[in-house]
Structure 1
């Protein structure tokens, strides 16, 4: 962060790198359309085929400057209308252009299509960005920046990062399944209890209908595990749906969000509150179809409208829970990762850190503007309330083992 703050080259590199993977995928897709090895194998051996093969190899390796030069030379040969000279394999660039013209003049349509594709490739801003990204990578400060990133884990978009992401996703799905299984078993236990006035069921990955999402901004629109209930009427044993209806309306009983850690839940909490506010916009006299892993389920609007939208209500903990399989912190951190990062990202903080990095004299009072902004600027409200939010989230958290233990009581 300090390097980005101090050096324009590092800031530019970081900005270009953010979209570099997408740019590279787009260009490789374009080059594959005209120079994929499978496509070239169908052509007779020629200097043209060799040049296209070289272009494909350069793009595959991320040699963007070399690929641009190869593309320009090839396009120049296509655009020139001079006579062909000689039929032997050329050794110089001018001879290559001449031979390329010979190869394509026999097929004007292919000539035009290839010329159009090359021109689009060379004019694509993505190619210029990737060339600039490669050039900036030679800068000393940029190399230091990249080395720091490498020391803190795999680069975004790399195979290692993808493997880590896939592993985390798999672990998250496993924890969600354990939570759903525990609640499903609890629902079945309640359903066997003749004294219960309701029938219960559990659904997963329940998505909020578009009619309620409409203008949602940074609000939760999918709930991991949801417990539903329905007054105990005549119910099908196979589906849990009322007999004689395709899908009876159900009421929300409990919304459960599964998180990898207490810190993740703390960061998610404002989004969860906004998600509840979305649901309460429902018309109490309507029913809404929610897509879920198991199909579609109708939820009564009155049930949605009655959900709590603020955690000061006494019923809030009865409607929402966080679940995790990680041990609770013995001593919760006063600042979570997100709040800590926001404080460190302040321009004032980075100015202070930059002076430290160059051994300049600093004074702790130089950081006072950050704390003044924290007290008065609405943009800092999440950080200001972070510890209170952390404590509230802890009150809503249950361990997966706790849910499983309910079945033994």
Structure 2
């Protein structure tokens, strides 16, 4: 079996082989070109530094200055109200605001939380579950619970569940199997997270964050997606 060529010799061979589609030398970026495209300037500076390092040389100090200048202009352009990068702006807002970070974290689990709460409500308040019950305040309360869950009105769902659980014993006693599910529903972390997410939605920064993301189109997991 032939011995593998040393890496240095292989490298020299590859460098000597003509490349039919080799890109020509990049133009140099100099300071004072504030009107140039910052993304292009950034790419050129990075390539200049790479070429210097590949030749075992240290990139000139000007490369660092030009890199910082191009990067800062790129960030400023992305943060512009008009024509900026809405996804980047949303990321910056999320980094700056604890409330936005909390809302974003809750949103990541919201779809699963909605399913969990609706399933819990359906287990005792679904129309099929109410069909065999006698008409009265319990059936009416269960219908209100189910309607609130369907409408994803988590505040109303909690209030209705608390009201039913606090109803006179004679009313709840008419259907004793609902007391346990009601108590579990009110103590369900999924419901608490959904209520907290709704409360955070009133914050102006959270609203700004949501508006920025909506510019990217429907988010995964939303009904619009």
Q: TM-score, normalised by structure 2?
A: 0.57
Residue 59 of structure 1 contacts residue 67 of structure 1 at CA under 8 Å; is this kept in 2?
Answer: yes
- Cα distance in 1 between the residues matched to 2:204 and 2:172: 45
- Residues 69-88 of structure 1: pairs in structure 2 closer than 5 A: 69-77=159-167
Cα deviation, residue 40, structure 1: 1.6
**1:94-147 Cα distance to aligned partner (Å, 9 max, x none):** xxxx3xx434435xxx41x21111111111111111110000001111111111
Extract unaligned runs of 5+ from structure 2: 1-90
Q: Is the 8 A contact 1:27 1:127 kept in 2?
A: yes
Residue 104 to residue 135, structure 1, CA distance change in 2 (3 Å) = closer
Which runs of structure 2 are paired with 1:88-167 in the superposition (5 Å)? Answer: 98=168, 101-106=169-174, 110-111=175-176, 113-161=177-225
Q: Report the 3-state secondary structure (helix = DSSP H, G, I; strand = E; otherwise coil) of the residue aligned with 1:43.
A: coil
C-alpha separation between the residues in 2 aligned to 1:104 and 1:140? 42
Matched with 2:97 is 7
Deviation digits for residues 77-99 of structure 1 (CA, Å, limit 9, x no counterpart): 2xxxxxxxxxxxxxxxxxxxx3x
Q: In structure 2, what is the equivalent of residue 38 of structure 1? A: 128
Please list every run of at least 4 consecutive aligned residues from structure 1 whose deviation after the TM superposition is greater than 6 angstroms: none
Q: 2:56 — aligned with what?
A: none
Question: Hey, what does 1:404 align to over in structure 2?
Answer: none
Aligned length: 135
Post-superposition CA distance 1:196-232 (Å, at most 9, x none)? xxxxxxxxxxxxxxxxxxxxxxxxxxxxxxxxxxxxx
User: What's the C-alpha RMSD, in Å, of the aligned pairs?
Assistant: 1.4
TM-score normalised by L of structure 1:
0.32
Which has the larger share of strand?
Answer: 1
Deviation at 1:47, TM superposition (A): 1.1
| Residue aligning to 1:316 | none
1:193-232 alignment to 2 at 5 Å?
none
Unaligned runs of 5+ in 1: 78-97, 162-409
Residue 25 (structure 1) aligns with = 115
User: Higher helix proportion, which one?
Assistant: 2
SS at match of 1:160: coil
Tell me if structure 2 keeps the 8 A contact 1:46–1:103: no
**Aligned-pair CA distance for 1:65:** 1.3
* Residue 38 of structure 1: how far off its partner (Å): 2.1
